[in-house]
Amino acid sequence: MKHNPRQSITALDAGTCALAALLLFFKSWLFYSHVNLAGFHPLFSILTAAIFLFLWSAIRIVSERAAKIVMFTVYTVLSVFMTIDAVYYSYVSKLPSAALIPMIWQAKGISDTILRLLKPYHMAMLIDLPLWCMRAADRSDDKIRENLLDKIEHRLSRIELRKSVTGAVSFALCGCALVTACVWPGFQPNYMANELFCYHIRDFYTIARDSATNRVVDKSLYTAASQADSPYYGIAKDRNVIILQVEAMQNFVIGAFYEGQEITPNLNRLIADDSFYFPNYYYQIGGGNTADAEFAVNNSLFAPENDAGYVKYTDNTYHGLPYLLKDHGYSGAHAFHNYICSFWNRENAYPNQGFDSFTSLEDFEQDDMFPMGLSDRSMFRQSMEQLKTFEEPFYAFYVTVSSHHPYAIPLEDRQITLKPEDEGTLFGLYIQSMNYADRAIGEFLGQLDEAGLYENSIIALYGDHYALANTDPENSTRVAAMTDGQYSIFDVFNVPFIVNVPGMGFAETKSAAGGHIDVMPTLLCLLGIDNDKTVMFGQNLLEAETGFVCEQTHVAVGSFISDEVYFKKPYNNIKANYDAYAKADMSRMDPDLFKEQSDYAKNRILDCAELLADNDILLGE
């Protein structure tokens, strides 16, 4: 019987697609099982493979060639997306957004971090792609192809997989997958937003839309009342303002000892003398991580959820801390950072933030280089020469980088003696880096004193974001053992906030929950400055009777931390993944009890997003 090469080729492509769908199912299973989908990963794996088959079958009705191209392209793209998504999720606990694409070039600056995050299962999603590319690019002549078809014809010719048959089978399988989803216990239609095709298509669509939503925002809700009746008002009036944003410093290292060795002796002494200490302080960032901590602190605004404020709203009109201080007689605002000026678009964003100068890695003598940038000690030492030339009072804002993940500071700068089992671990490296950061800060404070600047300054210090995830059992076990407690999600979000007012004559600990957006109104109170220029979403923590921290990164918008409760709304919006804990003992609570507070947290962030999208944060306009 004479065979039909075209029919056999069609059968071959159908078999290839079936194999691709099967492999995609196993890859999806591997991927979904690591992203906390409350046990629904088998169903999501089925759905992803079914959607793949559906796309191939639908396009094949029109063109077999186009279907083949789509098959190989989609399989390759989805494999790459799964790998990127999995690596990103392992660090941020959320899937990446297309909004991050303009910032992808910055990945080279954190290559050590990315390599540390890579696991074998990440690479398993890519390992077969070279073979698929070779198969897609096969240009063998007709004779070779015909010989191949002769060998497989006796297996395929009887099956006669025509378009109608393969299409019907594929559509039937897709239908079965949808029916399975409908009857799967606990599964709801809105959970489909977590399926890879659905997630990325929805994300690209969301990014393509205009950020503004015509949401009506009552700016009077975010207008600060005068703090003139506060006993703290103006106690640091006309002093230099120096802010230190410390890379990845978490609060659990403050006051902690490792094998009898004090990790942060300088900060511990600082807290005990002429300082306000806020132990229940939590980071609030967006897609820009470190840069968004700066954005929140200097403006009392929430950064965009999936973008960096410095990138998305570079050219907006601001009137944050740098401008307000200059309004009240400060000679200038100056930023210092020991990494490249273009990272997170700082070189373009800082002028609109109100900074008059920006000294970055390119401007310093690179005499003590760390894995990521100039050492903190060298940056502080070299910057002192500039501080001495500034007319007082001035504003100096520092962003450190030496303690950046993966915390691999040079051996000669490590002074903590680690137990053998902690050597080379992320936990051990982190303890070393925090001890180094503390020593660098201690030296800087001493240099300020020698230069005659310390007594006439107010020094604020805080951590920008977390360092060690509590989802890593190794981290959790070691931190809990060192602190004689547990390492909960509270500890992950909890970073230190210290305000030192030399000569104040007392030290206080303020327990109200607060976050990055509260720094600006707190400092303005101490400086005796009222803000009638711009909205502020934070509050003065010195006078706060209660605290409430709206979170949006590493948890979804609608999550919050109060004085009594931690409420986590998951990105995947799967009901089983909602969590509420009593802060006192970490006992679980019913998440349904906190819907009103969750909506309040969500609305505050959405209000801020709308004002930023409309470039409308100033008052009286």
Torsion angles phi and psi, residue 465, rounded to 5: -170, 180
- What are the residues facing 396 on neighbouring strands? 242, 334
Q: Which residue has the tokens 């008002």?
A: 233
Question: Is 290 assigned a catalytic role?
Answer: yes
Torsion angles phi and psi, residue 614, rounded to 5: -90, 0
**Residue 107 three-state SS:** helix
Closest C-alpha to 432, from 266, 258, 218: 258
- Those residues whose C-beta lies under 8 Å from the C-beta of residue 6, and which sit 6 or more positions away, are none
Half-sphere exposure of 584 (CA within 13 A, CB side): 2
Neighbours of 330 (CB within 10 A): 23
Neighbours of 367 (CB within 10 A): 10
- Those residues whose C-beta lies under 8 Å from the C-beta of residue 330, and which sit 6 or more positions away, are 241, 393, 394, 395
Amino acid identity for residue 188 in this structure: Q
Gap between the Cα atoms of 112 and 462, Å rounded: 24
Pairing of strands 579-582, 565-568: antiparallel
Whether the bond between 406 and the residue before it is cis, its omega within 30 degrees of 0, is yes
Amino acid identity for residue 269 in this structure: R
CB of 354 closer than 8 Å to CB of 332: no
Catalytic one of 290, 359, 534, 553: 290
Gap between the Cα atoms of 326 and 319, Å rounded: 10
> DSSP secondary-structure letter at 566?
E
CB of 465 closer than 8 Å to CB of 494: no
Q: How far is CA 180 from CA 28, 45, 280, 551, in A?
A: 17, 12, 46, 35
**DSSP codes of every residue in 515-559:** EGGGHHHHHHHHHT----SB---S--TTT-SS-EEEE-SSS-BTE
The token duo for 148 is 């191949």
Closest C-alpha to 472, from 430, 508, 409: 430
How many Å from the N-terminal Cα to the C-terminal Cα in the chain? 84
Gap between the Cα atoms of 330 and 181, Å rounded: 62
Counted residue by residue, the chain has a size of 621
**Residue 261 three-state SS:** strand
CB of 23 closer than 8 Å to CB of 71: no
CB of 352 closer than 8 Å to CB of 319: no
**Residue 480 three-state SS:** helix
Amino acid identity for residue 170 in this structure: S
CB of 565 closer than 8 Å to CB of 534: no
Closest C-alpha to 94, from 572, 561, 566: 572
Gap between the Cα atoms of 183 and 408, Å rounded: 50
Amino acid identity for residue 477 in this structure: T
The residues annotated as belonging to the active site are 290
